[in-house]
Structure 1
Amino acid sequence: MAELSLQGKRILVTHADAFMGPVLCEVLARRGATVMSSTDALLDPQAPAALVAASGQVDVLVANLAIPSPTTAATEVDEAEWRKVFAALVDPLPRLCRAVLPPMIARRAGKILVMGSASALRGIRGATTYSAARGAQLAYVQSLGVEVAAHNVQVNAIAQNFVDNPTYFPPEVQANPRFQERLKREVPLGRLVSASEDAEFAAYLCSDAANCFVGQVFPVCGGWVQK
């Protein structure tokens, strides 16, 4: 990993000011990539295609999509909450992929990496809307990954939880004694995975060294205690 280089690769990072965006841009650039960062919410159906068109050649798309997670009881989730979360996390993904994939397929080279959540892999009380949206992302990756693999395009996802980031674990949350006890109770590492650890793994998946992975979902969670 220390010798990994992304020299010459043009990488588009979405929601670059949220979730893993800031550290991803920093690490990918340090590894030699030309990073094109976007802070557009991508809620307009035409926005993803416009962003890709304005970015020029995209060798790697890092679909880093984020929205604060609602904590609504399932019986109280209304249409507005469901639509808002899916509009932010799910709807932009196929639109982005439809825009970047034809040139990648034509070049027989390209990667898409989705920064997802392990909430889709483990039941979390009070997170039905968010978990469902994150699960949709992962299902899309698994199917798309095997569909485009024959074109030498690799699509994968990181499903993370307990990873340091400003959207889901801001400083005030990390400083809370109850959260610190939760880490000790639920996470075998006893700490959050650092932002740089996660971003370095993402950089590896963006590199040619990871060409053998297609349609895979990689949990990055610091481990968790099964209940």
Structure 2
Amino acid sequence: MRRALVTGGSGTLGAAIARALAADGCHVLIHANAAAERARSLAGEIAAAGGSAEAVVFDVTDAGATAAALESLLETGPIQILVNNAGIHDDAVMPGMRREQWSRVIDVSLNGFFNVTQPLLMPMIGTRWGRIVSLSSVAAIAGNRGQTNYAAAKAGLHGATKSLALELAPRGITVNAVAPGIIASPMADGAFDADAVKKLVPMKRAGRPEEVADLVAFLTSERAAYISGQVIAINGGMI
């Protein structure tokens, strides 16, 4: 059974991805930081449905704590599927943005990517099979007012994805990014009402978390063995 780590797995999108990977037969490591109880509850739900999952708790911005947590997880074998889903918003127009807003968003999405991904690479390389998918955003492709920090962080993942894909391709490991648009969640529902969604999205609706999860599950499967270094948008035709 392959082991899959989903960072930010306690959130709406992360939970959908965790369920999809569990349904595909993976043992899913559901990561959380502040929302540890939600991760544990989700792991219990997956197990009750016949899947295999456990919760893991650490702060992706803390390099030492992340390394220690991953070292412990690797004692029982390599993690061959990694979904870098952890990320935060802290929106403000750039003239009024505080340095802490910039740094924190970059720290979680981009430094967190390094802190989690780098320690897993050599064990993954040893198996000559792996899948790495990072969750980006339509904001990284088209920009978005009030999200210069978020767009910069997610756009950084695009460059990292393409470069890492070149490094790992000879080892049987694919590296891709998925860039969702407006996806139904408590956060998105608070930011976009139905009329706004109809104006912004040609398909006239928000995407479902399960639709993004299905794409991630495909990219982490055997069927996607020849897809690497790609940024794949899923946004209902927004761009």
TM-score under structure 1 normalisation?
A: 0.87
**Alignment RMSD:** 1.6
Query: CA deviation digits over 1:104-131, x for unaligned, max 9?
Result: 1122111111111111000211111111
Q: Is it true that 1:169 corresponds to 2:225 in the alignment?
A: no
Match of 1:66 among 87, 105, 111: 87
1:26 CA displacement: 1.3
Amino acid in the other structure paired with 1:10: R
Query: CA deviation digits over 1:3-47, x for unaligned, max 9?
Result: xxxxx2210111111251111111211221111111033121123
Amino acid in the other structure paired with 1:76: G
| 3-state SS of paired residue (1:100) | helix
Among all aligned residue pairs of Structure 1 and Structure 2, give the percentage whose two residues are the same amino acid.
Answer: 28
Q: Is it true that 1:30 corresponds to 2:23 in the alignment?
A: yes
Q: Is the CA contact 2:12–2:209 (under 8 Å) kept in the aligned structure 1?
A: no
Task: Specify which structure has the bigger relative contact order, considering alpha-carbon pairs within 8 angstroms and separated by 6 or more residues.
Answer: 1
Amino acid in the other structure paired with 2:112: P
Gaps of 5+ in 1: 1-7
Q: Is it true that 1:124 corresponds to 2:117 in the alignment?
A: no
1:72 CA displacement: 1.1
**Residues 67-216 of structure 1: pairs in structure 2 closer than 5 A:** 67=88, 69-166=89-186, 168-170=187-189, 172-173=190-191, 179-216=193-230
TM-score under structure 2 normalisation?
A: 0.83
| 3-state SS of paired residue (2:32) | coil
CA distance in 1, matches of 2:188, 2:9: 16
Partner of 1:49 in structure 2? 67
| 3-state SS of paired residue (1:157) | strand
CA distance in 2, matches of 1:98, 1:33: 21
| 3-state SS of paired residue (1:121) | helix
Task: Judging by fraction of residues, say which structure has more helix.
Answer: 2
CA distance in 1, matches of 2:93, 2:191: 21
| 3-state SS of paired residue (2:63) | coil
Q: Is the CA contact 1:19–1:65 (under 8 Å) kept in the aligned structure 2?
A: no
Number of aligned pairs?
A: 211
Query: CA deviation digits over 1:166-203, x for unaligned, max 9?
Result: 4x314x456xxxx2111111101111111111101110
Match of 2:231 among 217, 220, 223: 217
Partner of 2:5 in structure 1? 12
CA distance in 1, matches of 2:133, 2:30: 15
1:71 CA displacement: 2.7
